[in-house]
Chains A and B, each alone.
Chain A
Amino acid sequence: MGVTLSYVVKRIIFSIAIVLGISIITYVFIYLAPGDPAYVWAGRPRGPLASEAIAKARVELGLDQPIYVQFLLHVLRFFSGNWGLSIRFKQSVFSLVMRNFASTLELLLVSFITSIPVGLFLGIYSSLYRGSRVDAAINSLSIVLSNTPRFWIGLAMLLAFTSLNVPTYGRISDSFRGELVERVGLYLVDSLLQGRLDIFLDVFTRIIPPALALSLYPIGAIARVTRISLSEALQEEFVREAVSLGLPRKTVVYGYALRGLIPSLVQATGLFFSYSLIDAMAVEYVFGREGLGSLLVKAIPANDFPLITAALVIVTLVYVVTNTAADIVQALVNPRVTMQ
């Protein structure tokens, strides 16, 4: 296995380029969009002094500069770690984004911890019994699962749980919010670190329904990718050879066929994870949870460009990180691959 320095450098340059690209696009869109950030920053003033206040705000935000200067300043600040203040919330963008990202990440992690094994199991099973009735059932199920709108499923679940009197709205009950000491930012972990099982259970019951709603797509998608690629792998000559050599079915499937699938499965899962970020936004909104999605929903009407760029950059980084992980796994599994 060789993860070379040049690979790491390339990845970093690639990420920076993507972040720059995202910033440019956001900038351009916000520049073209109706609405004025200076107006929001000045506190939406009215009356005779309003235009003066807005002009002052424009200077404060640097909006009086030509757009390329604005952009350069923004990028320089961004890469030096100074993400500025949110126009809408007047709080540090960095801490806003991080707090909300932790919430989204927690939701996604819970959803993927369940969907990866379930999706794999369904995919492997239907591929091994290809053509059987079970296979047909799993296949239609996975198509339905990966195509049902998550927003709709989220709403249905919310209604179902609420009618059962299970509290699922919000991330944590209001009474616990003051008591929880945030350390990692993931409430499931923080509550355990604090030794508060009651808080943990509250957070847990609230996260399960949205996580389930979110996991339907990855379950279906992972099952389908696994089914197709495992069926192909089972036809590979070295896998058939393993059968011919009398190796048991388990060894053939898990030791030979599935091994070659790991990189593409990791890659696909990473991709589904990135897609799920988008779904998470809708689901968070339905369930009244904080998160990157709800944050963006609030930031966009206010033309809150520092916050929007930062949130999008985080989304991008998640994508880059999962992809890099997939590459590294590929190099670990496949001796022919060295990462250049």
Chain B
Amino acid sequence: MVLEASIKSIDLSIGYEYDYEVLWVVNSINIFVWRNTTYCIIGESGCGKSTLGNAIAGLLPTYAYTNGYLEVEERVVVRGDETNYNGVRGRIVTRIPQDPSSALNPYVTIGEQLVKVIKHHYGAGGNPLGKARELLKLVKLPLEVIDYYPHELSGGMKQRAAIALALAPTPKVIVADEPTSSLDAYLRGVVAGLLKRVQRELNLTLVFITHDIALASTICDYIAVMYAGTIVEEGAACKVLRNPLHPYTQLLLKAIPKLGSREILSTIPGSPPSPTSYPEGCRFRPRCPVGFNECYKAPKLIEFEPQHKVSCWRYAQ
């Protein structure tokens, strides 16, 4: 197996048009995601995780603006202000939304939905029904589900069906945008585990977006921590989790509830800034417990050790 880039961005920025001005909510992001890995993007809500995920999946709204460069599976999808996702959506990347079951078309049976997508990408000749059955088997759903409407399935079955649907065009990359946040603790684990297994079995690249660092730690190979539209720390999961460098990552890890403990969680005081008012310099400065003078200038993402980058003045030589 050759290790190659599945997703690569250079100074990628994304903004939305608000009343004749563009609000840049993702700023100069450089990411590099290896094929056949699980890459987690974590951070509080409003940090631009979904925006980045949608840029990868080709789901930005028409009023979105781009800058920089983004490549998915060797296809250039963003170059400057031009985007081109022709032939990328479906065949190369699909997305699993926040509540996966909402991805199912309520008016059509599971089988029809799968067959429609398979037929569109592979024609009617390739035994679409057989492929639909294989997909159900892969996500461990009984075959009768083919004839069911979404509302006839249980919550857990819907999640599985939605994952099967996202796999139907045989994508190489799956962007799962907080796919578990609407679920209870049990289903959360099940869905994350299923995604991880599918990623391994089908040799996919899984971009897993979450604000739940505990969940991320159970499945990811690489972690990117996002704050206020930038990546503040990135690296191999074991390195980032064992040796968190950025004060924000350290606080996120502290906020994880310990199993069985009834102790009140330490949450990070304050909330992320809105894109209308990003602070000068380091954007975490107003909330940072260890900030100093240097922090009024913007830090750069630098390599601290192999496979571990951080953007914080404390680690700048």
Q: Which residues of A contact B (CB under 8 A)?
A: 130-131, 236-238, 240-248, 251, 255-256, 259-260, 333-336
- Closest CB of chain A to B62's CB: distance in Å? 8
Q: Does B116 contact A237, Cβ atoms closer than 8 Å?
A: no
Check A246–B103 contact: CB distance below 8 A. no
Chain B contacts to A: CB under 8 angstroms: 57-59, 62-63, 87-91, 93-95, 97-99, 102-107, 116-117, 120-121, 149, 151, 162, 165-166, 168-169
CA of A148 to CA of B304, assembled, Å: 70
B89 contacts A238, CB within 8 Å? no
Tell me the nearest residue of chain B to A256, going by C-beta.
B105
Give 9 CB contacts A-B under 8 Å: A244-B59, A244-B90, A244-B94, A244-B166, A245-B90, A246-B169, A248-B120, A256-B105, A260-B106
Minimum CB–CB distance from B201 to chain A (whole Å) comes to 20
Most B-side CB within 10 Å, residue of A131, A240, A242, A246:
A246
Known: A244-B89, A244-B166, A259-B107. 4 other contacts (CB 8 A): A131-B63, A237-B99, A242-B105, A246-B89
Q: Which of B87, B106, B166 has most A Cβ within 10 Å?
A: B106
Q: Which of A241, A333, A334 contacts B95 (CB 8 A)?
A: A241
Q: Which residues of A contact B166 (CB under 8 A)?
A: 241, 244-245
Q: Given A244-B59, A245-B94, A335-B151, does the pair A238, B102 have CB atoms closer than 8 Å?
A: yes
Q: A244-B90, A247-B116 are in contact. Are A336 and B97 (CB under 8 A)?
A: no
Determine whether the beta carbon of B97 is less than 8 Å from that of A245: no
On whether the beta carbons of B97 and A247 are closer than 8 Å, the reply is no
Chain B residues with CB under 8 A of A238: 102-106
> Which residues of chain B have C-beta atoms less than 8 A from A241's C-beta?
95, 97, 103-104, 162, 165-166
CB contacts (< 8 Å) of B57 on chain A: these are 244
Asked if A334 and B165 make an inter-chain contact with CB atoms under 8 angstroms apart, the answer reads no
Cα–Cα distance between A243 and B162 once the two chains are bound (Å): 14
Query: Are B103 and A237 interface neighbours, CB within 8 A?
Result: yes
Nearest CB in chain A: distance from B181 CB, A? 13
Residues of B within 8 A of A255 (CB): 116
Q: Closest CB-CB distance, A190 to chain B, in whole Å?
A: 40
Chain B's nearest CB lies how many Å from the CB of A256? 6
Q: Bound complex: CA of A131 vs CA of B61, how far in Å?
A: 12
A335, B58: Cβ atoms under 8 Å?
no
Assuming the contacts A240-B59, A246-B91, A246-B121, asked whether A335 and B107 have C-beta atoms less than 8 A apart, the reply is yes
Q: Which residues of the partner chain B approach A130 to less than 8 Å between Cβ atoms? A: 62
Q: How far is the CA of A131 from the CA of B64 in the complex (A)?
A: 13
- In the complex, how many angstroms separate the beta carbon of A259 from the nearest chain B beta carbon? 6
Assembled-state Cα–Cα distance A224/B151 (Å): 30
* Residue contact B106 to A247, C-beta cutoff 8 Å: no
Bound Cα distance A45, B117 (Å): 80
Tell whether A244 pairs with B95 under 8 Å between CB atoms, given A238-B102, A256-B105, A260-B107.
Answer: yes
Task: List residues of chain A with CB within 8 A of the CB of B91.
Answer: 246
How far apart are the CA atoms of A142 and B36 in the complex, in Å? 52
B149 touching A335, Cβ below 8 Å: yes
Chain A residue nearest in CB terms to B174: A244
Which residues on the A side are within 8 Å of B120 (C-beta)? 246-248, 251
**Closest residue to A260 on the B side, CB-wise?**
B107
Asked whether B151 lies within 8 Å of A237 as measured between CB atoms, the reply is: no
Once bound together, how far apart are the Cα atoms of A196 and B99, in whole Å? 62
Residues of B within 8 A of A243 (CB): 58-59, 89
Q: How far is the CA of A148 from the CA of B102 in the complex (A)?
A: 41
By the criterion CB–CB under 8 Å, are B97 and A240 in contact? Answer: yes
Q: Are B106 and A335 in contact (CB under 8 A)?
A: yes
Q: In the assembly, what is the distance between CA of A5 and CA of B7, in Å?
A: 58
Determine the chain A residues whose CB is within 8 A of the CB of B94 once the complex forms.
Answer: 244-246
Report how far A244 CA is from B162 CA in the complex, Å. 12
Min Cβ gap B51→A in Å is 14
- Taken together as a complex, chains A and B put the C-alpha atoms of A259 and B97 apart, in Å, by 21
CB atoms of A336 and B95 under 8 A apart: no
A241 to B93, CA, bound (A): 12
Roughly how many angstroms separate A333 CA and B165 CA in the complex, as a whole number?
22
- In the complex, A236→B98 CA distance in Å? 12
Give complex CA distance A335, B94 in Å. 27
Complex: chain B residue closest to A130, CB-CB: B62
Task: Say yes or no: A336 contacts B149, CB within 8 Å.
Answer: yes
CB distance from B299 to the nearest CB of A (A): 35
Nearest B residue (CB) for A242: B105
Q: What distance in Å separates the Cβ of A248 from its nearest Cβ neighbour in chain B? A: 7
The reply to whether B89 and A245 form a contact with Cβ atoms under 8 Å apart is yes
In the complex, A138→B206 CA distance in Å?
43
Find the B residue at minimum CB distance from A235: B61
A333: which B residues are within 8 A, CB to CB?
107
Q: Give the nearest-CB partner of B167 in chain A.
A: A245
The minimal Cβ–Cβ distance linking A57 to chain B, given in whole angstroms, is 61
Question: Of all chain A residues, which has the CB nearest B89?
Answer: A246
Q: Closest approach, in angstroms, between the C-beta of B250 and any C-beta of chain A?
A: 35
How distant is the Cα of A247 from the Cα of B116 in the complex, in angstroms?
A: 9
Minimum CB distance partner of A244 in chain B: B95
Residues of B within 8 A of A245 (CB): 89-90, 94, 117, 165-166, 168-169
CB-based nearest B residue for A246: B90
Q: Quote the shortest CB–CB distance from A196 to chain B (angstroms).
A: 46
Q: Nearest CB to that of A336 among chain B residues?
A: B151
Q: Which residues does chain B contribute within 8 Å of A247, judged by CB atoms?
A: 90, 116-117, 120
Write out the residue numbers on chain B whose beta carbons fall within 8 Å of the beta carbon of A335.
106-107, 149, 151
- In Å, the complex CA distance between A131 and B98 comes to 27
Q: CB-CB < 8 A to A248: which residues of B? A: 120
Q: With A and B bound together, what is the CA distance between A245 and B57 in angstroms?
A: 10
Cα–Cα, bound, A335→B121 (Å): 27
Nearest CB in chain B: distance from A81 CB, A: 42
| Closest residue of B by beta carbon distance from A334 | B107
Nearest chain A CB to B19's CB is how many angstroms away?
Answer: 12
Residue in chain B with minimal CB distance to A241: B103
- The answer for the CA separation of A27 and B59 in the assembled complex, in Å, is 61
